[in-house]
Structure 1
Amino acid sequence: MPISLMRLAAPLGAALLAIAPVTSVSAQEPGLWKVYNETLKGAKYVDLTHTITPNIPVWAGFGKSAFGQAAAGVDLEGYAKKGDTFTYEKHGFAASTYNLATDQLGTQLDPPAHWAPEYAAIDELPATYAVRPLVVINIEDKVKTDAGYHLQVSDIADFEKKNGRIPEGSVVFVRSGWYKKWPDPSLSTTKPFPGVSLDALKFLHLERKILFHGHEPLDTDTTPNLEGEYWLMHNGFAQAEGVANLDKVPETGALVAIGYPKFGGGVGGYARYIAICPPDWQFGVTIGSVPEAPLAKFDKPLHFDEKAGMRVR
């Protein structure tokens, strides 16, 4: 070998030897990184969550929410006077205020303390709620002929004949098609609406031992005393309400990621549910298929629209 090549080979060989152990370790993919790289990275992600705005449907008893622009609470010498609205032009940033009339707004996770103070509030739900198997039971065809149809135990039996037993600890969402009219404000007062029967709730929790169920409307059922919700809360069970896009996820085989703010003593929870679906699923986006870091730059900047009562593009 020529002297010049020997001089090049020596440091190159040393570098390869240094890299080799790292490559070997990375190939083993420590902990759950292997699960991410082999499964989650190529999965399809579907958002099951409504966007919260000041005008979405909500029970009239809670009143109306309002969004605003944050202002200086004190004098900031040379920067802003007390009461000045923070703007991109003057201060280089913007911030918002949210006067939310209730924590029962939009897509939700109801902790049992919503009705039963002896059970967990939203901040007391365990971290194990983070990711679960997702089951979607479809009653949309029955709702088309009966707008007030409620999930029955027989529907669950039919589902299991087709798909197998509902896994213990799973989240069961009931697809009814109700969400498709969102955000029509009349949804908050329109009756009848689809729900979940008390017998079905008892079967899911006591026989199949699910984590919680969810539905598209803003109430569990149409009984005068909301017997289903009463039973859930007073037996220590949570539930999801206002779930969306259930027609865009498979009945079985997906996971659901569950996120919610941790308000101290909160008896309701704004929630975000993301379905993690198999890579060959027809709906959703994959990691790397959309701008993430950096995020996309929009043609139109955000600005506060007084008529809309919120920032829009």
Structure 2
Amino acid sequence: MTIPYKLVDLTHPLTASTPSWDNSCGFNHTTLLDYADCTSEVKFRVQGINMPAGIGTHMDAPAHCDSQGKTIDAISLQDCLAPCVVIDISEKAHETYLCSMQDILNFEKQYRPIHSGDFVIIHTGWSRHWLTPAQYRNNLQFPSVSKEVAQLLIGRDIAGLGIDTLGPDTPESGYPVHQIILGQGKYLVENVANADLLPPVGSAILVAPLYIFGGTEAPVRLIGFIERSRESRDDG
């Protein structure tokens, strides 16, 4: 079956070297039973995983920093499928860069206003360091988002906010973006991959977290959808 969309995987694969907030080897993948040890006629390999919930490309639910907020299982599927806008600041972002109000206003002037229900990705270009975990973590110094931008996006009534770094805040900031976005019942997606493969406007996104009851964080498969007709127009 052919679908009228090109699918873009915006997810980093989980491995033993996946960068983590606390600089630990956060993802462990083990074989519990291998083919050679399986006594049934059909041979199976059975595996187990051990990891923190907030690793790799993952969702922060409102309950991550709001005791009264929604948990992963309470976020509706409708909120997980949304129009997507990508704000590209990669040419100027550096390890202490804050995405500013002017960045957002410049985007809106060039493309279109951010609409209610949009999922907004801040493309900093930092994911280029993903395969060198120490550089990606960088002692928790990476491009992030200003408090004013978070307030603006809440005013636009976005569905959620994604970024291609460990998070939209660094520790010394006091986590205002987490507080503002999650405190208003929206969600965050951190460690976005391949944001450069999406157009600034005109795509859609599916955020598919592990369906964890009571979860405050969960790994996601993040998928972008680009209309094939649009892709043909852009190529032409």
TM over 0.5: yes
Alignment map for 1:161-176 (pairs within 5 Å): 161-176=109-124
Task: For residue 231 of structure 2, give the secondary structure of its aligned residue in structure 1.
Answer: coil
Distance 2:102 2:16 in 1: 39
Q: Deviations over 1:238-268 (max 9, x none)?
A: 1110001011110000111121111111110
Q: If each structure's strand is expressed as a fraction of its own residues, which one has the higher value? A: 2
- C-alpha separation in 2, matches of 1:105 and 1:191: 15
Determine the structure 2 residue equivalent to 1:180. 128
- Aligned counterparts of 1:248 and 1:238: Cα–Cα separation in 2: 22
Conserved? CA contact 1:69–1:94, under 8 Å: yes
Q: Give every structure 1 segment of 4 or more consecutive aligned residues whose post-TM-superposition deviation is greater than 6 Å.
A: none
User: Match of 2:217, SS?
Assistant: coil
Question: Are positions 1:202 and 2:164 aligned together?
Answer: no
CA distance in structure 2 between the aligned counterparts of 1:140 and 1:183, rounded to whole angstroms:
18
Structure 1 unpaired stretches of 5+: 1-36, 71-84, 283-313
Residue 26 of structure 1 is matched in structure 2 by none
TM-score of the superposed pair, with normalisation by structure 2: 0.89
Q: 2:212 is matched with which residue?
A: 263
Matched, 1:95 2:95: no
1:157 equivalent in structure 2:
105
Show the counterpart of 2:141.
192
- Conserved in 2, the CA contact under 8 Å of 1:59 and 1:189? no
Aligned counterpart in structure 1 of residue 28 of structure 2, from 37, 43, 66: 66
**Once superposed, what is the RMSD of the aligned Cα atoms?**
2.0
Question: Which of 101, 112, 126 lines up with 2:76 in the alignment?
Answer: 126
Amino acid of the structure 2 residue aligned with 1:192 = Q
Change (3 A) 1:160 1:277: same
Q: How many residues align?
A: 226
Q: Is the 8 A contact 2:89 2:99 kept in 1?
A: yes
Letter of the 2:101 counterpart: V
Q: Does 1:106 align with 2:106?
A: no
Corresponding residue SS for 2:91: helix
Tell me, yes or no, if the aligned pair for 2:18 and 2:27 is still in contact at 8 Å.
Answer: no
For 2:30, what is the secondary structure of its paired residue?
A: strand
- CA–CA separation in structure 2 for the residues paired with 1:209 and 1:130: 14
Q: Distance in 2 between matches of 1:152 and 1:272?
A: 28
For 1:191 and 1:86, the matched residues in 2 are separated by 38
What code does the residue aligned with 1:69 have?
T
The percentage of aligned residue pairs carrying the same residue is 27
How far apart in 2 are the matches of 1:202 and 1:104?
24
Letter in 2 for 1:214: G
1:94: how far off? 1.1
Give the CA deviation at 1:69: 1.1
TM-score, normalization by structure 1: 0.68
Q: State the secondary structure of the residue aligned to 2:59.
A: strand
Return the match for 1:213 from 161, 166, 172. Answer: 161
Which gives a bigger RCO, structure 1 or 2 (Cα 8 Å, sep 6+)? 2
